[in-house]
Amino acid sequence: MKRVWALAVAVLGLLAACSAPVDAPAEDDTFVIGLSSEFDTLNPVLGHAPDGGSPLFDGLVSRAADLSLRPALAREVPEVDGTTVTFRLREGVTFHDGTPLTSEDVAFTYNAVLDPANNSTIRGDYAAIEKVEAPDPQTVVFHLKHPYAPILQRATLGIVPKRLLEGQRLDAAAFNTRPVGTGPYRFVSWTPGDKIVLEANESYWGGAPEIKRLVLAFVPDDNARATRMAAGELDATVLPPKAAARFENQSGLHVHKVPSADYRGVMFPMKQPVTGDAAIRKALNLAIDRAAMVNTILAGAGEPAFGPIAPGTPWHNPAVTGSASPDREQAVRILEEAGWKPGPDGIRVKDGTPARFTLMYPAGDSLRKELALAVASDARRIGIDVRLAGLDWDAIEPRMAKDALIMGYGSPYDPDYVNYELFHSSYAGQGFFNPGHFSDPRVDELLEHGRATADEKERKHVYDEFQQRVHDQAPWAYLVYLKHVYVIRGEWTGIEPAVEAHEHATGGLFRNIHQWKRAA
């Protein structure tokens, strides 16, 4: 949720790009991307871009546009042999400082994630790994605790140099803000609250990028990004659909609407008297007009959402799909039967407690604000009073166990992704993982079994039941799946849309920016 992505322009060498007319691409080799939030760290061990979205780092494998895995630092995508996976490294790869990549760096990276002392936010994603060994400089062997179907999907994690991090406290390492990787771009500078500047890695094993200077500009406010895009200060950005509409059919600008598994929904705190009542949650799920949200708030760039696994992906359970139109009569029946009766002001009351709760959203996110307003309006129609609070993330985080929140998550890669951390009781209250303290022993069993078995048919059955149980208990009110909307200046070849995850930022459509070339 709270992530880091973007930066702006402040050096003299960028002034020409910033002042370029709206309908003309920059004439130099600088490309400025406006992103909505700033990174917490640039260290993959601590959670930076584990799905391969960073231009600074490479994983053992990467993803093609069709989401299939392809070799990156590994020579080939290996077969999984029970609880052993062996990778052979590509020869001749060097880090940005010129030192060679070896299997010791790969083993160190993964073992550092697994080390509890490093308190990595992604440690749970790699819990199936017992240890990683480096028997020779070009060979890496993963030993698993049990068969783990998504293990190759987890091999997109960026690899760090052992010699720069061994023996250090990783949470305080200088590397976190001045990283060295093997990726197509090398780090130049980071101005907190402003920008990160990268330059092309001319010796990159995959070929030197045509874009020689990449600036990631932190612009958290949606309207500010749109304004700066219109002014020519940004060469690309991601915007809510309505904010991007102004750029449709403009000369020199292209709007890309990319399908995603990225959802927005209401996360309910489960231990509060109102949102902890299943009748409130189920009634609100029925009262929400998802069709109106898609048509008006998303301007058609999305679809209704009813669960944590996106339609169109192999793991989706169609049985959890409901009607996009509200059923307020059924919602009222559920509330009445549960003892929530109308009060004198129209707000329902049960045992002296009014049906009232606070719904938070990040103040700079115009799309989430509009969704929150729509939820509050729909809730009022059935006698539930939803009070809105637009806050910054630092204010939101400590309140998530008490107040509801418009949240976003979702991944197309594997059903184990995100869902284990969001719904397993062992993650209750761990930051943005399971912030509502959802707990269901059967869901825990399903999530554990789903990541431990390699049989795809069995996994499909497991995740179908998981989706049904989440749907029945309604710890979330899923609202919409988004299309990610990009605005890009200039004519480029090599842009490859793919179904995207929630966290896309410098991944997503930008994941292969090192391969973009100016159209002749």
Residue from 263, 415, 277 nearest 338 by CA: 277
475 and 499 both lie in a single domain: no
495 and 469 both lie in a single domain: no
**pLDDT tens across 172-207, in order?**
999 999 999 999 999 999 999 999 999 999 999 999
CATH number, domain with residue 469: 3.10.105.10
Backbone angles phi, psi at 454, to 5 degrees: -100, -5
For the segment 449-468, the average pLDDT, to the nearest whole number, is 93
How sure is the predictor about 24, in pLDDT bands with cuts at 50, 70 and 90? Answer: very low
b vs e for 402-417, b when ≥16 Cβ sit within 10 Å of the residue's Cβ?
A: ebbbbbbbbbbbbbbb
Lowest-confidence region among 61-65, 99-103, 267-271, 464-468: 61-65
424 and 505 both lie in a single domain: no
144 and 281 both lie in a single domain: no
221 and 290 both lie in a single domain: no
How sure is the predictor about 1, in pLDDT bands with cuts at 50, 70 and 90? Answer: very low
Q: Which of 35-39, 121-125, 348-352 has the highest mean pLDDT?
A: 348-352
CA 142/CA 107 separation, integer angstroms = 9
Overall number of domains in the chain: 3
Distances (CA, A) of 116 to 141, 169, 208, 313, 341: 21, 12, 37, 33, 50
**pLDDT tens across 328-378, in order?**
999 999 999 999 999 999 999 999 999 999 999 999 899 999 999 999 999
Residue 398 is predicted with a pLDDT of 97
Please check whether residue 149 lies inside any domain of the structure.
Answer: yes
CATH number, domain with residue 218: 3.40.190
Residue from 453, 520, 516 nearest 212 by CA: 516
Range of the domain at 459: 260-482
Q: Is the pLDDT of residue 20 over 50?
A: no
Q: Per the structure block, which two tokens stand in for 480?
A: 């919409």
How sure is the predictor about 482, in pLDDT bands with cuts at 50, 70 and 90? Answer: very high
Written as one letter, the residue type at 89 is L
Please check whether residue 245 lies inside any domain of the structure.
Answer: no
Looking at residue 44, the DSSP 8-state letter turns out to be G
402 and 387 both lie in a single domain: yes
Backbone angles phi, psi at 44, to 5 degrees: -60, -35
Please check whether residue 184 lies inside any domain of the structure.
Answer: no
How sure is the predictor about 17, in pLDDT bands with cuts at 50, 70 and 90? Answer: very low
Hey, which bits of 301-372 come out as E strands?
302-304, 341-342, 348-350, 353-354, 356-362
Please check whether residue 213 lies inside any domain of the structure.
Answer: yes
CATH number, domain with residue 136: 3.90.76.10
For the segment 436-449, the average pLDDT, to the nearest whole number, is 97
With helix as H, strand as E and coil as C, how does 397-423 read? HHHCCCCEEEEEECCCCCCCCCHHHHH
19 and 91 both lie in a single domain: no
163 and 286 both lie in a single domain: no
Residue 3 is predicted with a pLDDT of 36
DSSP-based three-state secondary structure for 275: coil
Please check whether residue 215 lies inside any domain of the structure.
Answer: yes
Distances (CA, A) of 279 to 191, 265, 271, 275, 283: 48, 18, 14, 9, 6
How sure is the predictor about 452, in pLDDT bands with cuts at 50, 70 and 90? Answer: confident
Please check whether residue 251 lies inside any domain of the structure.
Answer: no
The per-residue pLDDT of the chain, averaged, comes to 92
Residue 199 is predicted with a pLDDT of 98
Residue 312 is predicted with a pLDDT of 85
pTM: 0.87
312 and 363 both lie in a single domain: yes
Please check whether residue 254 lies inside any domain of the structure.
Answer: no
Contact by Cβ (8 Å): 25, 252 = yes
Looking at residue 506, the DSSP 8-state letter turns out to be T
In sequence order, the β-bridge partners of residue 476 are 267
How sure is the predictor about 412, in pLDDT bands with cuts at 50, 70 and 90? Answer: very high
CA 457/CA 476 separation, integer angstroms = 27
Examine the fold and report which residue of 136, 156, 179 is the final residue of a domain before the chain moves on: 179
121 and 219 both lie in a single domain: no
In sequence order, the β-bridge partners of residue 342 are 348
Q: Per the structure block, which two tokens stand in for 51?
A: 């799905």
Do strands 84-88 and 129-136 pair parallel, antiparallel, or not at all (unpaired)?
A: unpaired
Q: Per the structure block, which two tokens stand in for 115?
A: 């080390």
Higher pLDDT pick, 43 / 456: 43
**pLDDT tens across 387-398, in order?**
999 999 999 999
In sequence order, the β-bridge partners of residue 189 are 197
Residue 472 is predicted with a pLDDT of 97
Residue 149 is predicted with a pLDDT of 85
How sure is the predictor about 422, in pLDDT bands with cuts at 50, 70 and 90? Answer: very high
Between CA 244 and CA 251, with CA 248 as vertex, the angle to 5 degrees is 125
Residue carrying the six token digits 């030993």:
143
Q: Per the structure block, which two tokens stand in for 440?
A: 């269901």
CA 332/CA 338 separation, integer angstroms = 10
Residue 369 is predicted with a pLDDT of 97
CA 74/CA 470 separation, integer angstroms = 38
How sure is the predictor about 428, in pLDDT bands with cuts at 50, 70 and 90? Answer: very high
Lowest-confidence region among 1-15, 138-152, 229-243: 1-15
494 and 462 both lie in a single domain: no
Consecutive H or E run containing 487: strand 476-489
DSSP-based three-state secondary structure for 223: helix
Q: Per the structure block, which two tokens stand in for 393?
A: 């993330």
138 and 284 both lie in a single domain: no
Percent of the chain past pLDDT 70, that is, above it, reads 95
Residue carrying the six token digits 């994690």:
157
Looking at residue 74, the DSSP 8-state letter turns out to be B
For the segment 105-114, the average pLDDT, to the nearest whole number, is 98
How sure is the predictor about 254, in pLDDT bands with cuts at 50, 70 and 90? Answer: very high
Q: Is the pLDDT of residue 27 over 80?
A: no
Distances (CA, A) of 375 to 266, 378, 386, 482: 9, 5, 8, 17
For the chain, the straight-line distance linking the first and the last C-alpha, in angstroms and rounded, comes to 39
Q: Is the pLDDT of residue 18 over 80?
A: no
Please check whether residue 253 lies inside any domain of the structure.
Answer: no
Q: Is the pLDDT of residue 6 over 90?
A: no
DSSP-based three-state secondary structure for 485: strand
